[in-house]
A and B are shown apart, each in its own frame.
Chain A
């Protein structure tokens, strides 16, 4: 038979909760004072363990959904907020004013970097006054390389790929491309024996 909630139970649970929520264990002697003290404490710690697993269980139990929720999010974000500075591009006609956004150049750099096997470009900055044609510009990129790659060679391949792409697609006067390896990654969805 389950006793109806009374103030005694409430006080015991509130007291035990204070320990639990401070990340401490209640004193053994308190737990040994009365069987219900230990029963209550064990139940509280069990709930905590269950709570920590509950979201993973919810996700697994969720039926597969179509992709519309992702599309809805991606169409509602403000992409323009990342455009950055405007980089002038020369044109034979004096009437035409062309420019490239800094965000587009970063996209070129990422794309060049991603074409180098086993690497991911992370953040990427253009240092220098890109708004004035001919200014010296230094490109700084952070990269993560696949576990087992030789870092100096990989960094050099990244530098080459980025320099080539910027030469082809922009008029930037590139002084240097600095690559900082910030991380080493493994394949996430690796199959056994991969």
Chain B
């Protein structure tokens, strides 16, 4: 099979696009932005707990990515690398929001959830999980998201959030305990 038409950059692998972007190819970078932007926005929204600053986080993420693409060790791992930048930018936003608050105060419980009966009726598993996550404290939700969605280790989360690893362990266990209750898994 030999192709005659001019190749579209949309078909290029991340590694090729990243190499071109390092050389200054804005078109290649645009393909990376379109390909991974929606996922980064979803990830930022999960960490932030709402989509209000998500677009700014995505923009910061890609501006930083453009500057630092040359440092990317394995261009094939572009997505994982972008996710790490996204989580860092999202956490920066959260930090800025609560500059004057000591750590303990952002681990306050979220407002009471809707009744468990109502939750059981929700259409999809994703919606049920989303509702359950909304009942976590901010700190619990951040730890849970970085661990379960981002795949970070306790040590990495501790460093990102600037708390001891033992605190991360505690917040994660509390988060998981709450999710089980909320989703009626605990009988």
Residues of A within 8 A of B (CB): 2-3, 5, 9-10, 13-14, 17-18, 21, 39-40, 43-44, 46-48, 50-59, 61-62, 69-70, 72-74, 76-79, 81-84, 103, 106-107, 110, 114-115, 117-124, 142, 144, 146-149, 182-183, 185-189
Cβ 8 A contact of B22, one of A70, A121, A123, A187 = A123
Query: Are A76 and B34 closer than 8 Å at their CB atoms?
Result: no
CB B70 to nearest CB in A, in angstroms, measures: 10
Q: Could you list 11 examples of A-B contacts with CB < 8 Å? A: A17-B172, A40-B186, A55-B43, A55-B46, A58-B45, A62-B41, A73-B37, A73-B59, A107-B25, A144-B16, A187-B3
Residues of B within 8 A of A (CB): 1-7, 9-13, 15-16, 19-20, 22-26, 29-30, 33-34, 37-39, 41-43, 45-46, 55, 58-59, 62-63, 66-67, 116, 124-126, 129-130, 144, 147-149, 153-154, 169-170, 172-174, 176-181, 183-187
CB B93 to nearest CB in A, in angstroms, measures: 17
Query: Are B42 and A117 closer than 8 Å at their CB atoms?
Result: no
Residue of B nearest to A84 (CB): B24
Query: Are A78 and B66 closer than 8 Å at their CB atoms?
Result: yes
Query: Are A106 and B59 closer than 8 Å at their CB atoms?
Result: no
Chain A residues positioned under 8 Å from B144 (CB to CB): 51
CB A169 to nearest CB in B, in angstroms, measures: 17
Chain A residues positioned under 8 Å from B33 (CB to CB): 70, 73-74
The DSSP consensus for interface residues of chain A is helix
CB B73 to nearest CB in A, in angstroms, measures: 14
Chain A residues positioned under 8 Å from B26 (CB to CB): 74, 77, 79
Contacts A13-B180, A70-B33, A144-B16 given; indicate if A43 touches B186 (C-beta within 8 A): yes
> CA separation between A58 and B116, bound complex, in Å?
23
Chain B residues positioned under 8 Å from A39 (CB to CB): 185-187
Contacts A2-B186, A3-B186 given; indicate if A107 touches B24 (C-beta within 8 A): yes
Chain A residues positioned under 8 Å from B29 (CB to CB): 74, 77
Query: Are A70 and B30 closer than 8 Å at their CB atoms?
Result: yes
Query: Are B3 and A121 closer than 8 Å at their CB atoms?
Result: no
Query: Are A47 and B176 closer than 8 Å at their CB atoms?
Result: yes
Query: Are B24 and A73 closer than 8 Å at their CB atoms?
Result: no
Query: Are A44 and B176 closer than 8 Å at their CB atoms?
Result: yes
Query: Are B176 and A73 closer than 8 Å at their CB atoms?
Result: no
> CA separation between A25 and B41, bound complex, in Å?
33
Residue of B nearest to A103 (CB): B24
Query: Are B24 and A82 closer than 8 Å at their CB atoms?
Result: yes
CB B12 to nearest CB in A, in angstroms, measures: 5
Query: Are B23 and A103 closer than 8 Å at their CB atoms?
Result: yes
Residue of A nearest to B182 (CB): A2
CB A122 to nearest CB in B, in angstroms, measures: 4
Query: Are B148 and A47 closer than 8 Å at their CB atoms?
Result: yes
Residue of A nearest to B27 (CB): A110
Contacts A5-B181, A43-B185, A57-B126 given; indicate if A120 touches B147 (C-beta within 8 A): no
Chain B residues positioned under 8 Å from A10 (CB to CB): 173-174, 177
> CA separation between A62 and B15, bound complex, in Å?
27
Cβ 8 A contact of A74, one of B20, B30, B116 = B30
